[in-house]
């Protein structure tokens, strides 16, 4: 996919050694439709394959980083060049839906988490549900003081977002509270919990992130690759990938239960709960 084909993101090179991918569905608050997912993947691939790029920054336009998945998206995966080994996306019942979610959610996030180059999420405003997956696949997270992070989708009758890294990102106790209540955590709390590396004023977010990316880009690419792999492999040895797959299986159980009880993949009452709580926050 050529850069000129991008409709939902921008690809920039703001400084030597740095690529920046910017979410650009401002009117939708950067909700991720399937086109955005595959455009993100193409942009990450481009940066990964460009030997002049040492660091990749993921940022966003508009008032918020991401409002999550675009649940109104009806695009078929046949419109895109899929990247995983799953097929059968149009098969009936749970089989087809499970294949879709493994391709565009868990499989894609795992692919991005294992990019061989350091990645930095530059986060501001709200990051909700599926937006967390874009943050959590990155190696470092820089947040503005106004940033908040939430996963309210237990209200939909499922366990949480598909890239279920909550216990690893905020700890077991906070993960449970975050999921049970749907309440957001602030940038300051995310920093205290170890999910965020630095919290800076909104006006300094871009410059601070670029300065950090520049310092990282001054290191040799081989050393950066080896350091990233070493830390990721330590996490993998703790069972990270196995835990993600297990949570995805429970995600599918939740969808199947909703289909039987409500005739749809999510509990329809969840949308009202989330909207009401968002207005009250």
Domains along the chain with CATH numbers: 3-280 (3.90.226.10)
User: What length is written for the chain?
Assistant: 281
Q: How far is the C-alpha of 112 from the C-alpha of 8, rounded, in Å?
A: 18
Instruction: Confirm whether pTM is higher than 0.85.
Output: yes
Q: How far is the C-alpha of 217 from the C-alpha of 220, rounded, in Å?
A: 8
pLDDT in tens, 256-270: 999 999 999 999 999
- Kindly state the average pLDDT of the residues 3-12: 88
Q: How far is the C-alpha of 51 from the C-alpha of 17, rounded, in Å?
A: 9
- Kindly state the average pLDDT of the residues 230-252: 98
Contacts of residues 228-232 at CB distance under 8 Å and 24 or more positions apart, as own/partner, are 228/116, 228/117, 228/118, 228/139, 229/116, 232/113, 232/114
Integer-rounded Cα Rg, in Å, for the chain is 18
Planar angle of CA 202, 165, 97, nearest 5 degrees: 110
Q: How far is the C-alpha of 123 from the C-alpha of 195, rounded, in Å?
A: 12
């Amino acid at each position: 996919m050529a850069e000129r084909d991008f409709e939902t993101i921008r690809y920039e090179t703001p400084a030597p050694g740095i690529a920046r991918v910017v979410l650009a569905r401002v009117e939708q608050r950067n909700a991720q439709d399937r086109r955005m997912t595959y455009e993100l993947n193409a942009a990450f691939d481009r940066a990964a394959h460009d030997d002049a790029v040492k660091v990749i920054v993921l940022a966003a336009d508009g008032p918020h980083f991401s409002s999550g998945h675009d649940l109104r998206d009806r695009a078929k995966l046949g419109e895109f060049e899929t990247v995983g080994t799953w097929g059968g996306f149009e098969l009936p019942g749970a089989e087809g839906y499970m294949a879709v979610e493994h391709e565009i959610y868990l499989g894609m996030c795992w692919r991005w988490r294992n990019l061989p180059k350091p990645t930095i999420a530059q986060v501001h405003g709200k990051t909700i549900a599926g937006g967390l997956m874009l943050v959590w696949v990155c190696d470092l997270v820089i947040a503005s003081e106004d940033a908040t992070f939430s996963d309210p989708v237990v209200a939909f009758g499922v366990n949480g977002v598909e890239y279920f890294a909550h216990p690893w990102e905020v700890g077991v106790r906070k993960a449970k509270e975050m999921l049970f209540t749907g309440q957001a955590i602030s940038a300051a709390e995310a920093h205290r919990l170890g999910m965020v590396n630095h919290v800076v004023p909104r006006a300094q977010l871009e410059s601070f992130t670029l300065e950090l990316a520049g310092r990282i880009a001054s290191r040799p690419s081989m050393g950066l690759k080896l350091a990233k792999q070493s830390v990721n492999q330590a996490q993998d040895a703790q069972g990270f990938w196995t835990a993600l797959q297990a949570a995805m299986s429970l995600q599918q159980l939740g969808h199947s239960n909703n289909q039987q009880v409500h005739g749809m993949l999510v509990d329809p009452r969840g949308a009202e709960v989330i909207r009401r709580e968002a207005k009250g926050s």
